[in-house]
């Protein structure tokens, strides 16, 4: 008798939930709207003229708590410079299996070369493919990151842009005197986005 009662009670809960609206997303046909400063996959940005922003200073590698970034800088070739500075990132690798997506590398970068996108899909066949080099990390000629073709179709352009919103929020460093003042360089394919609003002087 007690078993039958328990079964009926369980079925009651099942039928009650059966007709409720599902809270899950129909992935991969539907993508959940992600926050503006979502910590997704990294990209290496270029200036609006196409030159790379990375100067090979290795600050991102030094600050990384997971030690997943390897950078080696070299002097820029005089006849065909890669970046505006004296040096550029000759080798740049990120082991995505070790990355904890803390964005400390983004904060440490003096030229805004490395930022994080809203992309999160990273399917690899073996561990060596999870080490992303410059061929994968450097943005395309239109400023969008290299990514899987299928996700490019399903994701809007804002998701494919570099995470300039992260820089817009942190660049004033909490000083309201710099509200609506652009303190960062433009990115290839993106230009200079307007500052993020929200900081105001407190009235005494």
| pLDDT tens digits, one per residue of 29-39 | 777 777 777 88
What is the pLDDT, as a whole number, of residue 131?
92
User: Using one digit for the tens of pLDDT, what is the confidence trace for 27-85?
Assistant: 777 777 777 778 888 999 999 889 999 999 999 999 999 999 999 999 999 889 999 98
What is the pLDDT, as a whole number, of residue 192?
78
Percentage above 90 pLDDT, the chain: 30
What is the pLDDT, as a whole number, of residue 26?
78
- pLDDT average, residue stretch 161-187: 64
Q: Is the dihedral of CA 137, 140, 141, 143 positive or negative?
A: negative
Better-scored residue on pLDDT, 127 or 118: 127
For residue 172, the tally of other CB atoms under 10 A from its CB is 18
Domains and CATH numbers, the chain: 27-175 (3.30.70.3270)
What is the pLDDT, as a whole number, of residue 160?
57
Arithmetic mean of pLDDT over the chain: 80
- Residue 195 pLDDT more than 90? no
- Residue 155 pLDDT more than 80? no
For residue 19, the tally of other CB atoms under 10 A from its CB is 6
């Amino acid at each position: 008798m007690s078993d039958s009662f328990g079964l009926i009670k369980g079925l009651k809960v099942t039928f009650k939930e059966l007709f409720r609206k599902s809270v899950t997303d129909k992935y991969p046909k539907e993508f959940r709207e992600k926050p503006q400063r979502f910590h997704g996959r990294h990209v290496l940005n270029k200036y609006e003229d196409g030159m790379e922003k990375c100067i090979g200073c290795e600050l991102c590698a030094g600050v990384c708590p997971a030690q997943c970034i390897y950078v080696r800088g070299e002097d820029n070739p005089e006849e065909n410079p890669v970046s505006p500075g004296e040096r550029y990132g000759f080798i740049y690798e990120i082991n995505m299996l070790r990355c904890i997506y803390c964005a400390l590398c983004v904060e440490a970068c003096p030229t805004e070369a490395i930022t994080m996108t809203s992309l999160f899909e990273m399917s690899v066949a073996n561990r060596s493919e999870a080490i992303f080099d410059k061929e994968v990390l450097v943005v395309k000629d239109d400023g969008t990151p290299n990514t899987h073709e299928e996700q490019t179709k399903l994701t809007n352009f804002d998701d494919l842009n570099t995470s300039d919103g992260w820089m817009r929020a942190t660049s004033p460093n909490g000083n309201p005197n710099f509200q609506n003042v652009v303190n960062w360089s433009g990115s290839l394919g993106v230009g200079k986005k307007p500052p993020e609003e929200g900081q105001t002087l407190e009235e005494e």
